[in-house]
A and B are shown apart, each in its own frame.
Chain A
C-alpha cells in the first residue's frame, strides 16, 4: 500500500513491433515489479506455445460489420505499437484478428457483444480492432470467461466526432491468466468511455491506454475489481496527452478480501508540452476487507506544460469504516449484510456510470455474486 512517485521515463520508454527489442522481464523492472512472473505461464518469456483456443463469439449490432482477418490486413496494428514484452509477444504471435467497423455516422441500435471463451487448452494470442468511423456511435461489450492463458492487444480507433463506449468484463475461471492491452486512439472531438470490470482469473494484468491524434478528445476510463484470496488483479492505466484541449478522467475502485488477494493499480498521465488546455484527473481507491490482502496503488502525473485546465490525481486504500458498519448494525442490519451494503455502495457508485441498463445490471449481478461468496 502507499503512494510512490517514480519518474515516468522508466515506465513507457520503449515502443516496438519487434519482440527482440524487449528483454524477458526479470521482475526487477519498474513495469514488472508488482507482477508475479512465475504465474504468467510463459506469456512473458516466449515459452507459452500458441496451442490453445479462445473462442470469439460476436453478437453484433446490425449497423456494424464484423470480420475475421489475417495478420496482413491493412487495418491491423495501425493505432499502436507494443510497449512491453507480452504485448509484443501477442502482436507477433496472433494468427487471426477480429475487426469490427462502425460505419461513418452510424448510430448502433444495440450493443455489440464479443464473448471470448477460453477453452483451457493452452496459451492463446489474440488481436481485436474496433474502428469507429467519423461521427458514428457504438457500444461494445467484451465478455471474457472460461479458462485460458491469454495475451492480446485491442485497438479502439475512434474517429472524428465519434463516440465509443466499451465495457470489458474479465470474468474468467479461477485458473485463467490474462495479459491484455487496450489501446484507444482518439481523433478530433472523439469521445471514449471505457468501463473495466475484473473479477475472475488467477492473474489478470490489464493495461488500458489512451492517445490523442487531434484536439478535443474526451476519455473517461472507469474500472471496478474484486480480488479474492490468491488472486492477482493488476490494472495499468496510461493517458498520453499530446494534443491540446483534450480531457481524460480515470476512476478505478477495488475491493479485496482473503489471504494473498493482491490488487495493483498504476496510473500514468503524461501532459506533453504541446498539450495545452488539458483537463485530467485520475483516482484509485481500494477497500481492504480482510487481513492478508494487499493493494499497491501508484498514481503518476507528469506535466510538461504550464498551461493546463486541470490536472490532479489521488489514491486511497483503506479498511471498511467502523463508523459505517456501526451505523448500519445499529439499525438491526447484521454485520455481513452491512459489509455488503457498504462495498456494493462503494463500487456501485461507479457502476452507475454505465448508461446501458442491461449492462449495468449485468455488472451489478456479477459484483453481487462476488459479494455473496
Chain B
C-alpha cells in the first residue's frame, strides 16, 4: 500500500513565498480534499509536487513510499506512481492523443503495451468517459472544450494507474453532466482501494459525487483546518471568509 507524505513543504515562485510549510499524508485507499480560496496556494502544491520548473522548493520533503520525489525529474516522478490531473491541460500541436497515450503508458509501465490490448483498454476507457472515439486521432487537447480536456485527464489517470493522483480543480468549468462523468471516473479509479487521491477544489459541488475521507482547508500557503467530510458542509454554509481574515 502506497503513502504520499508531504513534510513541511515550502515553495516559492520568483522569490515570492507561496507555500509556507505544508504537512499532509495521503495513504492508498484514502481521498483527501484540499479546499481553499483562490490564491491560497492549492495549485502551487499540485504543481510543486509534480515538479513544474516554475516552482522553487525552498524546504521540506515529498515522499512517495519513502522516495523523495523532489529529487526526481518530472517524468521520474510520474513513473514512480504520481499523477497530476491538470487544471489547464496544454494543447500540443501535431501530437495525436493515441500516440501520446501509447507513449505515456509505455513509459510508465516500462514496456510497450500490446497493440490490440492497448486499443481495447483505450476504447473501454473512452466509452466509460463518453469520449468520442475520433478523439484518439486528434491533436492533444487541441480544440477540446473545457469538459473534454478534463475527461481526457481522467482517461489518462485510468490508463496510467498511478499510486497517488493529484487532481487540480478537475471540477472547474464542468457542467453537471460532465461533472458526473468525471466523478464516476474518479470513483472507478479509487474503487480498487489501492490508490490515494488528493482532490484540490474551490467548490464543494464535486464532493457530493466524490466523497472525501478527509478535508483540509488551505489558506495563505498552509493547511489551517482539518476534519472529516462535515468540514466541507461547514465551508459550503460559511465560505472561506473566516480563514482569509485569520491568515491576513
Q: Which residues of A contact B (CB under 8 A)?
A: 321-324, 326-335, 337-338, 341-342, 344-349
Which residues on B are within 8 Å of A, measured CB to CB?
Answer: 50-53, 73-75, 77-79, 83-84, 86, 89-90, 92-95, 99-100, 103-104, 107-108, 139-140, 156, 160
Question: Pick the contact of A329 from B73, B83, B86, B99 — CB < 8 Å?
Answer: B73
A334 touches B75 (CB 8 A): yes
Q: Once bound together, how far apart are the Cα atoms of A330 and B156, in whole Å?
A: 11
Q: Mostly helix, strand, loop or mixed at chain A's interface?
A: helix
In the complex, A24→B229 CA distance in Å? 82
Find B86's partner among A327, A338, A349 (CB 8 Å cutoff).
A327
Q: 7 tightest CB-CB pairs across the interface, nearest first?
A: A345-B94, A331-B104, A332-B78, A329-B74, A332-B107, A332-B108, A345-B95
Asked if residues A327 and B107 are in contact (CB atoms below 8 Å), the reply is: no
Q: By the criterion CB–CB under 8 Å, are A332 and B160 in contact?
A: yes
Q: A322-B53, A327-B86, A337-B103 are in contact. List 4 more A-B contacts (CB 8 A).
A: A326-B53, A328-B95, A328-B104, A347-B94
| Chain B residue contacts of A329, Cβ below 8 A | 51, 73-75, 78
Nearest CB of chain A from residue B171's CB, rounded to whole Å: 20
Docked-complex contact B107 and A346, CB < 8 angstroms? no
Question: Closest approach, in angstroms, between the C-beta of B107 and any C-beta of chain A?
Answer: 4
Contact B50 A332 (CB under 8 A): no
Q: Which of A321, A324, A331, A345 contacts B107 (CB 8 A)?
A: A331
Alpha-carbon distance between A323 and B89 when the two chains are bound, in angstroms: 9
User: Are the CB atoms of B139 and A345 closer together than 8 Å?
Assistant: yes
Distance from B228 Cβ to chain A, minimum over Cβ atoms (Å): 31
Are A324 and B92 touching (Cβ within 8 A)? yes
| B86:A331 contact, CB within 8 angstroms | no
A341→B95 contact, CB < 8 A: yes
Q: Assuming the A-B contacts A337-B107, A341-B99, A341-B100, are A330 and B90 also in contact, with contact meaning beta carbons closer than 8 angstroms in the complex?
A: no
CA distance in complex: A254, B225 (Å): 53
Q: Which residues of the partner chain A approach B107 to less than 8 Å between Cβ atoms? A: 331-334, 337
A191, B118: Cα distance in complex, Å: 42
Closest residue of chain B to A345 (Cβ to Cβ) is B94
Residues of B contacting A331 with CB < 8 Å? Answer: 75, 78, 100, 103-104, 107-108, 156, 160
Contact of A332 among B51, B53, B104 (CB under 8 A): B104
Residues of A within 8 A of B79 (CB): 332
B89 near A333 with CB under 8 A, answer: no
| Complex alpha-carbon distance, A190 and B139, angstroms | 33
Which residues of B sit under 8 angstroms from A341, Cβ to Cβ?
92, 95, 99-100, 103
CB distance from A224 to the nearest CB of B (A): 12
- The CA-CA distance from A347 to B140 in the complex, in Å, is 15
Which residues of chain B come closer than 8 Å to A323, judged between CB atoms? 90
Contact of A342 (CB < 8 Å), options: B50, B52, B86, B95 = B95
Contacts of A333 in B (CB 8 A): 75, 103-104, 107
7 contacts between A and B (CB under 8 A): A324-B92, A329-B51, A331-B108, A332-B160, A345-B92, A346-B93, A347-B94
Residues from chain B with a CB closer than 8 A to the CB of A327 are 86, 89-90, 92, 140
Contact check, B93 vs A349: say whether CB atoms are below 8 A apart: yes
Check A335–B156 contact: CB distance below 8 A: no
B92 touching A332 by the CB < 8 A rule? no
CA A341 – CA B90 in complex, angstroms? 14
Q: Does the CB pair A324–B90 fall under 8 Å?
A: yes
Closest to A327 in B: B90
- Return chain A residues, CB-CB under 8 Å to B86: 327, 330
Nearest CB of chain A from residue B152's CB, rounded to whole Å: 11
- Shortest Cβ distance from A347 into chain B, in angstroms? 8
CA distance A324 to B88 in the complex (A): 12
Interface centre among A323, A324, A330, A341 (most CB of B within 10 A): A330
B77 CB contacts on chain A under 8 angstroms = 330
Given contacts A331-B156, A333-B107, contact A345 B93 (CB under 8 A): yes
Quick one: given A331-B156, A333-B75, A341-B100, are A348 and B108 in contact (CB under 8 Å)? no
B99 lies within 8 A of A330 (CB)? no
A-chain residues with CB within 8 Å of residue B75 when the two chains form the complex: 329-335, 338
| Nearest-CB residue, chain B, relative to A321 | B90
Cβ of A330 and Cβ of B53 under 8 Å apart? no
B residues within 8 A CB of A337? 103, 107
Give B156's nearest chain A residue, CB to CB.
A331
Q: How far is the CA of A349 from the CA of B91 in the complex (A)?
A: 14
Measured in the bound complex, the distance between the Cα atoms of B90 and A156 in whole Å is 42
- Among residues of B, the one whose C-beta sits closest to the C-beta of A340 is B103
Query: Which A residues are CB-close (under 8 A) to B99?
Result: 341
Whether the pair B94, A346 counts as a contact (CB closer than 8 A) is yes
A330: B residues at CB distance < 8 A = 50-51, 74-75, 77-78, 83-84, 86
Of all chain A residues, the one with the shortest Cβ separation from B53 is A322
How far in angstroms is the closest Cβ of chain A from B244? Answer: 30
Q: How far is the CA of A335 from the CA of B95 in the complex (A)?
A: 15
In the complex, A165 Cα to B40 Cα: how many Å? Answer: 58
CB-CB under 8 A from A328, the residues of chain B are: 92, 95, 100, 103-104
CA–CA, A81 and B207, complex, Å: 74
- Please name all residues of chain B whose beta carbon is closer than 8 Å to the beta carbon of A348 when the two chains form the complex: 94
CB distance from B41 to the nearest CB of A (A): 19
A346 to B79, CA, bound (A): 26
B187 → A minimal CB distance (Å): 22
State the CA gap A337–B139 with chains docked (Å).
17
Please state if A349 and B94 are interface contacts (CB–CB under 8 Å). Answer: yes
